[in-house]
Homo-oligomer: A and B are copies of this chain.
Amino acid sequence: MDILITGGGGMIGRKLVERLAREGTLNGEKIDRVTLQDVVEPTVPPDAPFAVETRTTDLSDPGEADNLVSGHPQVIYHLAAVVSGEAETDFDKGYRVNLTGTWNLLEAVRRAGNVPRLVFTSSIAVYGAPFPEPIPDDFFHQPLTSYGAQKACCELLLSDYTRKGFVDGIGIRLPTICIRPGKPNKAASGFFSGIMREPLAGIEAVCPVDDTVRHWVASPRAAAGFLVHAAGLDGEEVGPRRNLNMPGHCVSIREMLDSLRRVAGDKVADRVRFEPDPFISRIVAGWPQNFDPQKSVELGFTTDPDFDSIIRVHIEDELGGRIAD
């Protein structure tokens, strides 16, 4: 099996390819080759039991999508995107990469003609306040950010290209990924990870919203699990509604900090201080907080057991089991 991962240099891409490298198979088939595309040079996992090709390119450049799908990969993970904060401040770049880039890819797949399974990472940012509590699967998509609007458009294209038989698409609306490893990115949701990650690494962290703010989160490990599960779904069983809310946990900042205190102790938890940021607060106020993701649960998607586990996953996967003193 050949797999293409756009945005393969990003955090989710890295988590996915590391998992694929450990397992060596996808949908029960041996993986022969993985192509990692990104605007930055993607990291090749050591000891992968398959060939790994990297392509440092811009998916929205003319012809690049055709190049990427010319080898007829059976599974395409389309992760490449400008994140929410940057899509909000650079309107043109957001639309060019997130909407035109995805549309280019779908058109290239249509021209290639082999109807691959395409797993697209959408986002709960397709939803905009006010919300029902919890949000059902059939609540409408009225994004309050350009990022959300771009993802919602891509979902519509993915469904329609799938309905016409040009691609076999599955869109998964990722919860906010927490705890993101590494450096902060430009996502407006970055602090949800920062206020856990930095204290665990011995660094002070600033929370820009108040502690009653709730959000819908899943670990990077759970996200890699969603991607692997999505590749194997039976399209007939999914039906025409191809974009799915992923299971996650609804937690408040207060609950996250209580978890941190429980799992990592007072010294770690005391490294977080509050400094309200109106720009971030305004974006976050429009975000969904709680879901009832019936369809994805029926389809067998699973997530972290609770928020304590999300912290433990980070300590295990990123910190070699050790919390900074």
**B-contacting residues of A (Cβ < 8 Å)?**
91, 128, 132, 137-144, 146, 149, 152-153, 156-157, 159-160, 163-164, 240-241
The one of B140, B144, B164 that contacts A139, using a Cβ cutoff of 8 Å = B140
Output the residue of A128, A142, A152 with the most chain B CB within 10 A: A142
Contact (Cβ within 8 A) A240 B128: yes
Contact (Cβ within 8 A) B140 A141: yes
Contact (Cβ within 8 A) A164 B142: no
Complex CA–CA separation, A149 to B137 (angstroms): 18
Complex CA–CA separation, A132 to B149 (angstroms): 25
Shortest C-beta distance, A100 to chain B (Å), equals: 10
Shortest C-beta distance, A51 to chain B (Å), equals: 35
Contact (Cβ within 8 A) B140 A149: no
List 28 contacting pairs A-B, 8 Å CB cutoff, sorted by A.
A91-B164, A128-B240, A132-B138, A137-B140, A138-B139, A138-B140, A139-B140, A140-B140, A140-B141, A141-B141, A141-B156, A142-B159, A142-B240, A142-B241, A143-B156, A143-B159, A143-B160, A144-B163, A144-B240, A146-B160, A146-B164, A149-B156, A149-B157, A149-B159, A149-B160, A153-B156, A153-B157, A156-B156
Instruction: Report how many copies the assembly holds.
Output: 2
Complex CA–CA separation, A137 to B139 (angstroms): 10
7 new A-B pairs (CB below 8 Å) besides A132-B138, A149-B160?
A137-B140, A138-B139, A142-B159, A143-B160, A146-B164, A152-B156, A153-B156
Instruction: List the B residue with the shortest CB-CB distance to A88.
Output: B164
Please give, as numbers and ranges, the residues of chain B lying within 8 Å of A139 by CB-CB distance.
138, 140
Please give, as numbers and ranges, the residues of chain B lying within 8 Å of A137 by CB-CB distance.
140
Shortest C-beta distance, A45 to chain B (Å), equals: 36
Instruction: List the B residue with the shortest CB-CB distance to A146.
Output: B160
Closest 9 CB pairs of A and B: A149-B160, A140-B140, A153-B153, A149-B156, A138-B140, A152-B156, A153-B156, A142-B241, A146-B160
Complex CA–CA separation, A137 to B138 (angstroms): 12
Shortest C-beta distance, A135 to chain B (Å), equals: 10
Please give, as numbers and ranges, the residues of chain B lying within 8 Å of A91 by CB-CB distance.
164
Complex CA–CA separation, A141 to B241 (angstroms): 10
Please give, as numbers and ranges, the residues of chain B lying within 8 Å of A157 by CB-CB distance.
149, 153
Complex CA–CA separation, A144 to B157 (angstroms): 11
Please give, as numbers and ranges, the residues of chain B lying within 8 Å of A153 by CB-CB distance.
153, 156-157
Please give, as numbers and ranges, the residues of chain B lying within 8 Å of A142 by CB-CB distance.
159, 240-241
Shortest C-beta distance, A193 to chain B (Å), equals: 26
Output the residue of A140, A149, A156, A164 with the most chain B CB within 10 A: A156
